[in-house]
Amino acid sequence: MDPKVVDVKADLKNQLEKSGSEPSRLISIIPLDNADGTLDLIYMFQIGDGLHQFRYQVRADQELDTISDLFKGALNMERENIDLFGMRFKGVQGGLLIMPGTGIVAPLRKPSPGHNEGGKDG
């Protein structure tokens, strides 16, 4: 399956603007590996008194715009997803949980057909 490339950052901004003057707070960025070369990426927000999730299906190799300029707490969440799932965010480096050069690459990724991702590199 090849999902349509979505501008996640622009869509999130649009969704949050629809909430009007309600204050919003980023709670978590959760990737779910579909084992087919795609990830479901769930952004959890507190908007006013309620919890809201915005879900996107992205290609595992897709480089996404960072939302850390909108929500400062997003930077470490994005770095965590780089280290554990091999995701890519523009201008964001991994190394929060896994030091570069260890040979460990995306340990939480599921193997997908034709790809040996997850675990040790090599």
CATH number at residue 71: 3.30.460
CB atoms within 10 A of CB 74: 19
Q: Can you give the residue range of the structural domain that contains 46?
A: 1-122
Token pair listed for 81: 């997803």
Q: What is the pLDDT of residue 121?
A: 45
- By C-alpha distance, which of 4, 6, 31, 12 is closest to 69? 12
Query: For the chain, how many structural domains are there in total?
Result: 1
Per-residue pLDDT of the chain (122 residues; tens, 9 = 90+): 456 678 999 999 999 998 888 889 999 999 999 999 999 999 999 999 999 999 999 999 999 999 999 999 999 999 999 999 999 999 999 988 998 888 888 999 988 765 554 554 44
Q: CA-CA distance, 1 to 28, in Å (whole number)?
A: 26
Q: What is the pLDDT of residue 122?
A: 41
